[in-house]
Structure 1
Amino acid sequence: MTQDSNRKFAFFVCHHKPGPLFRDEIFTPIQVGAALAKAPLPQCVRDDEGENISSKNPSYCELTALYWMWKNVDAEYYGLFQYRRFLNFKRIGAPSNTFNDFSREKVEQLGWTRPKIEAVFQQYDIVTSPRWNVHPVGLGHLVMSNYDFYAKEHNIRDLDAVIEVVKNKYPDIFPFLLRYLYSERCTFANLMAMRSDYFKSYAEWLFDVLFEAEKAIDISGYDSYQKRVFGFLSERLCGAYIDYLKATRGARVAEAGVVFGVFAKPVTDGAQALRNIEAQTAPARDYLVPERVHVTFAIDDTYAPHCGAAIASLLGNIHERQQLTIHILHDETLSPRSRGLLASLLRRPETQIDFIEIPAKDFDFFPNNRAHISRATYYRLVLHKVLPAEVKKTIYIDADVILADNICRIWVDLEDNFAAACADEGGVLQTRRLGLPLSHTYFNAGVCVFNLEKLRGCDADLLYLESYAYNRKLISLQDQDILNIAFCDKTKLLPLRWNANARLYRWNDLEYKYSETEAQDAALHPGLIHYTDSSKPWNPRCEHPLVSLYWRWRNETPWRRGALARLAFNLTAWRWRNRDFARQFERRMRPRVKAIGRLFTSQA
């Protein structure tokens, strides 16, 4: 079957689930793995029609679309994209960026129009994504060769099988493959647009190599991620073949920036979230745990006011008869005044506060590679030693949070797990960086119920030390990485609403494990708001829609702001959020202010 025999541009966009799509005379959405799908995707062509390998999609990924294009479509130029990854044709060489919709303005902005694409292919025969330095996610300093990186991320025997096929069947291409594999740059994601003759020769060579290598590759024991092996292998083959085309056939090649689609609509309606929080306050205060609950914070003196706001919100959402002990782990900087102010927040006999000083130098062995995270975060690693022996578990909470529900609801039975925590806002990427199995959900340790009894029953110090030492080159998120390695597959998952991260309230371009439904529910009905990342609510430039909740509770503490201070903060915050208008207003007013100044000077 041949489609659109007179078509000039046949650019296909891979989809495997419902979502936003773009379709015009150039771009056509295609359902990949259609042979295995439960239902057809509207407005998509299917990769299981005509000659196809659609059933191989779990291991061939977007290559099932590439094969279908090769066998079933006639065009002058072919393109392969994914529903969240496109090339920017507006300006070749533009940096990578994100987009949130397929509006006419965005299509024009990214050059997805016939005139712009035609202009690009008057100069070039092949356009691909950039060749990026090869390194684990978030570790730009750890540059590796393609071969070594594949060995870290996947089964190197699979790449070796491909190398052997190319060596035996295509000796003229083999040197280009070796040079590419042992270079430190790679074209990822199989994004490309090619002139017909180059595309067809590439497809013929690629599938001949992969089908032959497939005979020697056993994926029966792979998880769902590693089963995508032939998609991973093709990323290492594409660049090598393009180098071959450039050297032997004079192909004109360009690299275009990648634009990443971010379509999960964030919650920006803070008013609705605040109404929901207000509605759940009374039920929160009715919940009572029939035992003493232990909550732990780790701070230095600079975080004392923020910890005060967190404690005020915690106490404002628990039962009046709840037995509660708050443990404050701190370094020598926490002043007697700050301790006194924190203690003054506890006004019920059922609540107690316990200050435990931790020598900061005890953690000099560990890295400090996040400027907005203090070294106090490492105090989580000694909870099993510094808390009283009778404390069998504790809820650890970062100080940059506000409670919106009763924290005692997560005083859960940990069973045989080391901890209970919520999925992280970029957990899929972090799991891959650390080489953890997909069965483990990478968690955010800012809210974490620690099983102190289990930790005391093993050599937790050695467990943490080995988790760091054996993976130190991959550590970028400090003790959170260490805890995820140490607690791999031994962590109970909490509902996301108990660690409602900041990216739930803005576009999140990271890969995460929770669903969009979970994200929306957590953002609108949070149990705990965690102001993650460097933009904090006490910073006037913070654009989090629940900034006011932080100040509502901060003003219940001795660190409350007076009316003038609040006015100055609000004016600074308004100016930042309306900075374009503010700049224009100030430019217009500057001559008038100077004129008034001159008037007063002359009168004097």
Structure 2
Amino acid sequence: MVLTAEQHHSNIRIFVSAHKQATFPKGESILPMQVGAAHATTRFPNTLHDDEGENISAENPRYCELTAQYWAWKNEDADYYGFCHYRRYFDFTDTPHKENDYGEIIDSYIDSRTIAEYGINDKAIAHAVDGWDIITTPLNDVRRIGGFSNLKQHWDADEHLRLNDLRHMYDILCERHPDYKMDADAVLNGRTAAFCNMFIMRKEIFFEYNEWLFPLLDEFAMTTDFSKMDMQTTRTVGHLSERLLNIFIAHKQRTGADWKIKRLQCVHFLHPEPNAILEPVGQERGRVVPVVFAADNNYVPMLTTTIYSMLKNASTNRMYDVIVLERNITDENKRYMRQFFARFSNALIRFFDVNRYLAGFNLTTSNAHISIETYYRFIIQEALPFYSKLLYLDCDLVVNGDITELFDTELGSNAIAAVPDIDFIGNLNMKNGERAEYVHKQLHMRDAYGYFQAGVLVMNLDRMRKIHTVHEWLEIASRPGYIYNDQDILNVECEGLVTYLDYSWNVMHNCAGRIAGVFDFAPASMYKAYMQSRNTPKIVHYAGFDKPWENPWCDFAPLYWSYACETPFAAQMVAAMSGVERPAPPEHHERAIAEDSPMRKYVDVLAPVGSKQRELLKVIARKAQGKR
């Protein structure tokens, strides 16, 4: 369909309610709005604010996203008024997408791909809206959500919603509008409704709806005691409006409005937060030593130990920009780490979420002791565009020397500085020929005796950027067949562009007796250099399955624990080593009703909608309610 000039210039306003910063799609018809701005300590610079003009922003704790709806009603002139949330948008395309039991399409990020896929742009919005009177989310059957027999039972199942509040609103509605009783009974005793408080209406309908809705909500608010309610029950007014929207439409249709109603799917973005961008630390050029790590939340104790060992032995004449690439480290653990490292006035600890970079790539590892985090180093060159050189360190090591000496290594035009991998090279000399065959068939290296260990790297980012883009690195990493994953890839792609470091900068410990069984097969000069480095190691690397936090008798374990015992996570490490399992986080039963309910963020992280974990929570909830 080709849009007419009139359609192209339709005055459509889709207000996107947000109580936290997010990625907002661009468009003249898309207007992000900070809700509850009257209570906010920080004003968003890139949104409208619901406390300007005629407003009820102060009522946001009770009225939720309705404060944006009220603001639009009183302050904006449009042909169509629509409402979405910072993590939920309409799918404005004509293409059906798979949805979960809550009637939601689940996706990860708001980016160019998803904006195009779901038509969240002016042209697609105009196409979808033209000719319709009302647009809502699809009617969802509460039997599908949780086996509920009707909307009243669905309401009552929420531990924070009280059935007498729903009855109170019902009484107010029937007293003010007796002709709505039949429709209220039909909706509340029925099984289907449009949820999420998302809709688009023609101006005349929107104004009629608000003139009917807000007096009802205001009377409820004035005649209800909120003083002893918990935070979520306080939001009852917002919950009620969802039911009232369905009752309003049902009544108007029954009494002859004959509106053209369209149902558009709802897209729920699990990660609507803005794409993190790191900035330069702003220190004098040449004084900053950037050091990058990659870890997940489970590895925080080991990560902290490694960073601590590094900073404890580092020169006090330099500034250290410590950057942790991560996906799921909790805010609590980040806070503990920042507090602990505050003792080092010349160090800055920063965290960078890599989720967006890795989306769409099938990254797996071939060894149980190698985690997905190993691939994070491939994104460094793009995530940190302001650095031309930096250090990358694994988290299963301790730094026993001054890291500035390593950083100051001259690379020239080489891409990498690293220590030769005596384990890999020792295998090359074995009679079975398995490693030599792997090099021949998979790696195709010209001289595999130059293979380096990638747990300690000095990286020339300018040179790395010329070799491959981040997308190209990750595409290569997605290919099967590698034994040592990213380490193999770096060796293949950087062959001939390596500066070799002294063995003392990456002394691999004697995991499973490999010194006598593997290392001693390496060329004699290499073996001798390794053995000498064990006497004065600058970095000890616990590469392999035998880790000091699991086996305190492993090689160099006392050195490791001399640092680990001084960190705030020492007790956790000892407990884990003793077989004490970490308690599981508490489970929450949650319904897809309140968009910005505080409980939602915990449930969405622990059990995303549509996941197996979510289904388990639903089973538990049904049993708790006496259902099968």
State the TM-score, normalized to the length of structure 1. Answer: 0.48
Larger Rg over CA atoms:
2
> What TM-score do the two structures reach when normalised by structure 2?
0.46
